[in-house]
Amino acid sequence: MEPQKKLEKDIGKFLEVYKVLNTEARAAFEAQMESTLKNVDEKTRKLYIALLDTAKDNGDLEEAIDNLNRTANGRPYK
């Protein structure tokens, strides 16, 4: 599978899984993610935050990709 298609598939799975998490599970996941993101570079951190924000807003794959592209190019997505 080509890298772009695999990335799109992985993003789609992330969004699907996030939607089915209950409030407690979301809070635990977000806390773990926050802890993990302390150890990555700023650009990577911003990309993960954009993806998580999209999931929190019940965004779809197209919106997630657009938000990630905007973030990668230093543009706001909200």
Q: How confident is the model at residue 32 (pLDDT cuts 50, 70, 90)?
A: very high
* CB-based contacts of 77, cutoff 8 Å, min separation 6: 50, 53, 66, 67, 70, 71
Q: Are 49 and 74 in contact (CB under 8 A)?
A: no
Which pLDDT does position 7 carry in this prediction? 95
Which pLDDT does position 1 carry in this prediction? 77
pLDDT digits (tens, 9 = 90+) for 33-51: 999 999 999 999 999 999 9
Helix axes 3-20, 61-72, angle to 10 degrees: 120
Q: Hey, where are the domains in the chain?
A: 3-72
